Chains A and B, each alone.
Chain A
């Protein structure tokens, strides 16, 4: 899609600049003239939403860093200082804290959209992998950010997650010592996490530039999964995609603001308003909601090292996904079997999230005692998470590779415009009456 540029500098200055630094041309080609498939639905608006969230998080985070003190002694009180004494500090902090959750809601929808419509398939493998890198960086950033208020859940969450690396043979202890900056989670850990928490978002921004670049080379996928073949298939990014993205962003902001202003602590954990105390371990250590599915996979495996490997493997599957899916058809709209397996996959991810929030040995169905298997009752969250983990991996490693070979896809349309133009635009009556008199 990075075809011939149609940019025409209009003034003397822009002509002068265009021959020296064609930055206006870059912006024109990227955000104005860029051809987008005309059939993109609302699932395609999450790219814009994610871009906005990245900006919101960086801007609010920079202001927070002006008032925050990254030492074990003062971190908790400095966060409360922001909440109480900094002008609109409560707004900035609640925006940043809830913004992290909103960022993850958007990224999960964005990723599931790619899974459903096959956006990771050739020629978009690099685009997809760059997205996976962004997701990994987001997880690291969010985890370190959650440590910064130095509450009970910050501290003990940091202990649990950093200790995972000690499971690796030979290098494990070295990695944990490096992460801690000592022999336990303490002041040096907090200070390096703060430093990295400030660094990683800019790395995310950098990889995002690559992600968008790769997108503009291959062009966007679309709900049919068919490549645009003519001008009839595409529309210029501005105004068509911008106005649709703008509307979706505004709807998303309503959800975001609802959390900020009316339930700012609903997504957090009450224990994180208790200052960190290494001597008192909370009854139940849980990560933030967006890590819960991976936490469930970790705990599903009885062996520590294998559990850690399973957790990282769950993310590694995403990286190699373009080569696991053997189907020639991109969009699951035309894959009747894959559609069903995908729906089950989404449900399984949500189930894993629930499993991650529960105590492993608690009963799923209250009052029902079955039999013990691998030291746990079959009616327990740990067994549910085992079954779900099995499906999670089977989806990537077994179902997608085999399905592409055995499934008989539905007929795929020749062009995007064929199905898109088969149902006419929904036009308000008055706009039809006199389109030329408006605007």
Chain B
């Protein structure tokens, strides 16, 4: 049993070692406590609403979120979930938010290109019509889609929050290219732009996104002070929800499954002991 445990432990160590990547010399993301951490974690609805506001008023100007539909906002665990509306398409908040967007469509009778107010079933429209336009509007850099960004970056939401709030004045000796910004949390290699001490190359990299957050940039309706850190934390929580909307379901089901399996395992062990009670082995 002990040897089995040691092999399993070794296998786990091996697996943990697997996905570890050279972090590109970037600073490690800050330690941020989220309400959805841990086996019983849940999204904080007020935080998701604040984060949605940051997304909508700041991020959405350049970033698409094409996998998320308006109706998702009213799904269980979502920022505007209301138990009275089990079908999130009927949720009045969701309908009102959707209606504020203009969606490209075609007129079903004439075939002409038209714009119509959004419905719950629509997905968030992209700010640019195509990739070339997105690059053209951002100095050649493509703002990534934010639907699963919280799972697509090592470090997850804590990394996103660290990056968003982590812009710093570049250290003296670092030549930041035009249209780029220095961020210690950005994966990259700044050694070619560094003229200082070669044993102390600054951590981090260059990013084409200008510092997006400013104190008071977004007014939180619940009166939460609108600091850069607060905005970064809230929007990263929202993006985690966007990337993993079934997180609450998953953890809740996991608890039930674990209880069941533990009881089942105990029962099987008792059966094993009973069946083998008169047999040496």
The main secondary structure of chain B at its interface with chain A is: helix
- A353/B14 in contact, CB under 8 A: yes
CA distance A246 to B268 in the complex (A): 7
Partner of A257, one of B11, B144, B147, B261: B261
Q: Is the Cβ of A247 less than 8 Å from the Cβ of B269?
A: yes
User: Which residues does chain B contribute within 8 Å of A101, judged by CB atoms?
Assistant: 15
Contact partner of A91 (CB less than 8 A), chosen from B1, B148, B250, B275, is B250
* A247 to B275 alpha-carbon distance, docked (Å): 12
Tell whether A357 pairs with B254 under 8 Å between CB atoms, given A38-B280, A244-B276, A362-B22: no
Question: In the assembled complex, which residues on chain B have CB atoms less than 8 Å from the CB atom of A325?
Answer: none
Are A428 and B277 in touch, CB under 8 angstroms? Answer: yes
- Please tell me if A3 contacts chain B, counting CB pairs below 8 Å: no
B48-56, B94-102, B151-159: which lies at the A interface? Answer: B151-159
Choose, from B2-10, B212-220, B226-234, the stretch at the interface. B2-10
| A439 at the B interface (CB under 8 A) | yes
Q: B249 contacts A90, CB within 8 Å? A: yes
Chain A residues closer than 8 Å to B39, beta-carbon distance: 262
Given the interface pairs A288-B18, A353-B18, A427-B278, the reply to whether A261 lies near B271 with Cβ below 8 Å is no
B151:A270 contact, CB within 8 angstroms: yes
Greatest chain A CB density within 10 A among B8, B152, B187 is at B152
Indicate if A438 sits at the interface (CB-CB under 8 A).
yes
The SS class assigned to the A binding surface is: helix
Instruction: Decide if B254 touches A257 in the complex (CB within 8 Å).
Output: yes
Partner of B251, one of A261, A266, A269, A354: A261
| A286 adjacent to chain B (CB < 8 Å) | yes
Q: Assuming A274-B152, A284-B22, A428-B273, is B278 touching A435 (CB within 8 A)?
A: yes
Shortest distance from the beta carbon of B265 to any chain A beta carbon, whole Å? 4
Question: Which of chain A's residues has its CB closest to B144's CB?
Answer: A274
Is there contact, CB below 8 Å, between A357 and B268? Answer: no
Which residues on B sit within 8 Å (CB–CB) of A350?
Answer: 10, 13-14
User: Which of A76-84, A372-380, A385-393 forms part of the interface with chain B?
Assistant: A76-84
On whether A359 and B22 interact (CB within 8 A), knowing A246-B268, A247-B265, A350-B13, the answer reads yes
CA distance A271 to B151 in the complex (A): 9
Task: Name the CB-closest residue of A to B19.
Answer: A269
**Chain B: residues with CB nearer than 8 A to chain A?**
1, 4, 7-8, 10-11, 13-22, 24, 39, 67, 72, 144-145, 147-148, 151-154, 187, 243, 245-246, 249-251, 253-255, 257-258, 261-262, 264-265, 268-269, 271-281
* 15 pairs, CB–CB < 8 Å, chain A vs chain B: A108-B11, A243-B275, A243-B276, A258-B258, A266-B16, A267-B19, A270-B19, A346-B7, A350-B13, A420-B281, A424-B280, A425-B276, A425-B281, A427-B277, A439-B274
7 further A-B contacts with Cβ under 8 Å, apart from A273-B148, A425-B279, A425-B281, are A77-B67, A254-B261, A262-B251, A269-B21, A357-B19, A421-B280, A428-B273
